[in-house]
Structure 1
Amino acid sequence: MKLTQRVVDQLACPAGRKDALYFDDDQKGLGVRVTSAGTRSYVLQFTIDGQRRRLPIGSASGIGLAQAREAARAYLGKAAQGIDPAVERKAKVKAARERKEREQFTLSRFIDDWAALHLATRRPKYREEAQRSLRHAFARHLDRPAEDLTRRHVVDTFDRLASAGHPAMAAATKRVGSALFRWGMARGRIATNPFDRIPIAIPPPRDRTPTSVEIVEIWNATDATTTFGKILRFMVATGCRREEAAQLRWREVDLDNATWALPAARSKNGEFVLRPIAVQAVEILRSLLPNLGNPRPEALVFPSDGRGFSGWSKAKTSLDAAILDRRRSASEAAGENPATVEAMPAWRFHDLRRAFAAQLQALGVAMPVTERLLGHVGSTQTGLMRVYQTHEYQQEQRSAVHLWSTRLQGLLDPPPAGSAQVIPIARKGSRQ
């Protein structure tokens, strides 16, 4: 058929047929397919390797006859070279789809998928920290396709953290980042792991243990009227982790029996922990009740803007400044030069747990009992002992907490000089 643009626009499908094909006399293989619904589209029919193929070119409403003829000539030219334009087009479509999927599979989405599909069964605390550390360290790369995160990007990120004085953060981020990409490789989403075998300085384990004098300084420098002050004193009295205190709910504590039932969902090792708490901790909790009446069981004990306390860094800076001010005031009162007074050596909130453990050891408390009071359930037992040794040391824990409560009270309110006092005998090598 002699095709012109007008002829193409007027082509119709014969009555009773689903479609009809009209071939162009001027351009070999070019045809117009017309359906009973009235749609028209250009197609190319050609033979390659002895097989007849048909390739869609485009809708007649989108391209004109001249464009269709030009496209047909280009496709036939490829076929003459032994290149199947139909196969080539499928490959391009597939490549475009894969490229789009690759661009959409960003590092941020990768982390989301990992959290939803892999971390769902992990402890909530680990799930939260793993995502937070990756998103914080690689914030500038979150919108980048995950496949495009290179070793150079990872090394630069770790170097930046180390230079900023956060080697421990770099080491922790390397662990979770490597776990993320190993999971992605196992699922066929990622080809390589940019975290693999990257050398990174492992920070030495911390051994800072606040002394008895420093415990008193920290306690006295806190403002007991603030949420932070109450939380910090509660941490000193119980040896708990800061997150455990910040997210404490009223349903977890029994003030009459002086016990704290930490649910498995909130404990670091994912196990339920029932432990007695010191008198000082109970007093802190009771001091909150007059302003609350009958608090809801699910309510936070130490709320901050309706949520758990989170201003740790700012509060720590203020506390360190308060400790230094008190030291200088004491020096001046003693007739000394306050300008020569040094700040308390660097310490972290977690060091209070180490101080709590050291005090218990100095009081002669057995290690299994100390471990349970710290929430390290089963950490000193392995193999058959962990399976069969199910004694919870509840009475021993209560006795240990009584010793610690008495010890803490003696530190905070020492008896007058010269008065008789009973001091628990410390074991050899213990630190007071």
Structure 2
Amino acid sequence: MPKALTVKAIEAFKPSDKRQEIPDGGMPGLYLIIQPKKAGVVKELPPAMSWAIRYRFGGKPKKSTIGPYPAFSLADARQEASKQMRAVSEGRDPAVEKAERKERKVDLVDDAIDDFLKRYVAVNNRPSVLKERTRLFKTEVRPKWGKRSMRSITRLDVITLIDGVAEKAPVMANRLLGLLRKFFSWAVDRDIIEISPMAKKVAPPGLETTRDRILADSELRLVWIASVNLGYPFGPMVRLLILTAQRRSEVGGFQWPELELSGNEQVWVIPRERAKNEREHFVPLTASVLEEIAALPKVKPDEKIEPIFLFTTTGKTPISGYSKAKKALDKEILKLAKKEAEERGEDPGTLPAWEPWTFHDLRRTAASGMARLGVAVHVLEAVLNHKSGSIKGVAAVYNRYDYADEKRQALAAWAELVRSITAERAVAEIP
């Protein structure tokens, strides 16, 4: 029985006058092919080596080429040989399949991306994920690689692309890196390419730390009052972010048909297709939330169609432009802080700066506020619609109790705390 090949042994092989086939005892059917040295060449060059498998199909001996060494390492060659030998055991001829792949049109990166979005992303993800990944490919990948062959993309190409994105948007670069890893892995599974250019790990361009920003009571007060000055649609949206503790995408896309206002148990039903964890979520509506909703204008697409979105400028689509709205809100906060400083007889220019904050920090602030009020962890998770947490395993699958009363009590207590905070004349700070 032939010995299992090692990297050290491969590097030590020398070409001879004849073509050599060295079997790998570590993977039956796999051979390392060493091409003969060229006649008349005085300078000794590294031997030209490649991988192939030999097998029988339909009673006849067959051969299928894997690729050159060291582009295909020993581990890569064994993995590909295992894949091809498995195909043989399943009644498929890898040599024929390889020839068919060459005739397929899914060769350009643009074509492969289209196939990936259609057959993988759209099937396994929510529409919002499909939209974001389509955008990433459109803005960052297609302009640079779109017309290139999938087989031409190298590890250096990936690193260069990621580093370029990281210079302007480090977090986006990390997201793109993960997306490309899935894309090339999918392409290998679909036999579009033999090996991923990311088979050897590409490190993320930067570390991401979990945000833990929580607004102080004085900060929350200023955000609330400034949101009133901001007006519709972002002003009331910010206040609902605070009062409901739900995600920005869920509040920003809030639809009138999601409201159930009959009876004494008014709730907002976030459908599974709009919930981040794809699980329908019931949010009890407190008196403060109902007051905010009652004051909203009902913007219609036209006079014949009922209003769809609580927060919209067109009546046809939910609001967008969160970055611009955040800047406008920060400007209002600054004006408010300076005004209150002057009223206290202080120099507005000496007020300390805020730590940067985001709309998502309002959700974390609400969660922290409810925990501060003594809300149990499992109830808080129910309010936030988190999958993971204190209820796990079989209990999580079979637990049908939605903690409706506890969620209502928690949100009511939080709304009361927000009311008391926003009514105070706390020491103002500027962002």
Normalising by structure 2, report the TM-score: 0.67
CA distance in 2, matches of 1:294, 1:253: 21
Q: Which runs of 5+ in 2 are unaligned?
A: 1-97, 427-431
Q: Given the alignment of the two structures, is residue 210 of structure 1 paired with residue 215 of structure 2, yes or no?
A: yes
Offset of residue 255 of structure 1: 3.4
Give yes or no for the alignment of 1:137 onto 2:114. Answer: no
Deviation at 1:98, TM superposition (A): 4.5
Deviation at residue 355 of structure 1 after TM alignment: 0.5
Change (3 A) 1:248 1:409: same
Aligned to 1:317: 327
Matches within 5 A, 1:5-404: 98=102, 101=105, 105-119=107-121, 120-141=123-144, 143-145=146-148, 146-164=150-168, 166-196=169-199, 197-200=201-204, 201-222=206-227, 223-256=229-262, 257-288=265-296, 299-305=308-314, 306-377=316-387, 379-404=389-414
Contact 2:371 2:377 in 1 (8 A): yes
Q: 1:390 to 1:205 in 2, by over 3 A?
A: same
Contact conserved, 1:258 with 1:279, CA < 8 A, in 2?
no
Give the ranges of 4+ consecutive aligned residues of structure 1 lying more than 4 Å apart after TM superposition. Answer: 97-100, 289-298
Q: CA deviation at 1:378?
A: 5.2
RMSD value, Cα: 2.9
CA distance in 2, matches of 1:139, 1:212: 46
CA distance in 2 between counterparts of 1:209 and 1:226 reads 25
Say if 1:291 and 1:190 are closer, same or farther in 2 by CA, change over 3 A: closer
Tell me the amino acid that sits aligned with residue 313 of structure 1: S
Structure 1 residues 23-57: Cα deviation after superposition (integer angstroms, max 9, x where no partner): xxxxxxxxxxxxxxxxxxxxxxxxxxxxxxxxxxx
**Residue 269 (structure 1) shift:** 0.8
3-state secondary structure, aligned to 1:336: coil
| CA deviation string 1:310-364 (max 9, x = no partner) | 1011111222222222222222222222222243210111111111110010010
> Using a 3 Å threshold, how does the CA distance of structure 1 residues 132 and 278 change in structure 2: closer, same or farther?
farther
1:407 aligns with 2:407: no
- Greater Rg over alpha carbons, structure: 1
CA distance in 1, matches of 2:233, 2:198: 40
Matched letter for residue 183 of structure 2 = L
Distance 1:380 1:297, change over 3 A: farther
Change in CA separation of 1:112 and 1:100 when aligned onto 2, cut-off 3 Å: closer
Distance 2:251 2:160 in 1: 36
Alignment CA distance shift 1:291-1:189 (3 Å): closer
Query: Does 374-383 or 363-372 show the bigger shift?
Result: 374-383
Which moved further from structure 2: 370-379 or 283-292?
283-292
Report deviation, 1:184.
1.3
Tell me which moved more, 305-314 or 375-384.
375-384
360 and 294 in structure 1: CA distance in 2 versus 1, 3 angstrom threshold: farther
> Residue 153 of structure 2 aligns to which amino acid in structure 1?
L
Amino acid at match of 2:214: T
- Show CA shifts across 1:364-392 (max 9, x none): 00111111111214544322222233321
SS at match of 2:296: helix
Query: How far apart, in 1, do the equivalents of 2:141 and 2:277 lie?
Result: 27
Once the two structures are aligned, what percentage of the paired residues are identical?
28
Question: Equivalents in 1 of 2:140, 2:278: separation in Å?
Answer: 26
Cα 1:209–1:134, aligned 2, differ >3 Å: closer, same or farther? farther
Residue 52 (structure 1) aligns with? none
Shift of 1:99: 8.4
Contact kept in structure 1, 2:269 and 2:283, CA below 8 Å: yes
Q: Give, in angstroms, the shift of residue 304 of structure 1.
A: 2.7
Give the secondary-structure state (helix, strand or coil) at the position aligned to 2:231. Answer: coil
CA distance in 2 between counterparts of 1:291 and 1:205 reads: 37
Which AA in structure 2 matches 1:254? E
* Contact 1:251–1:297 (Cα < 8 Å) also in 2: no
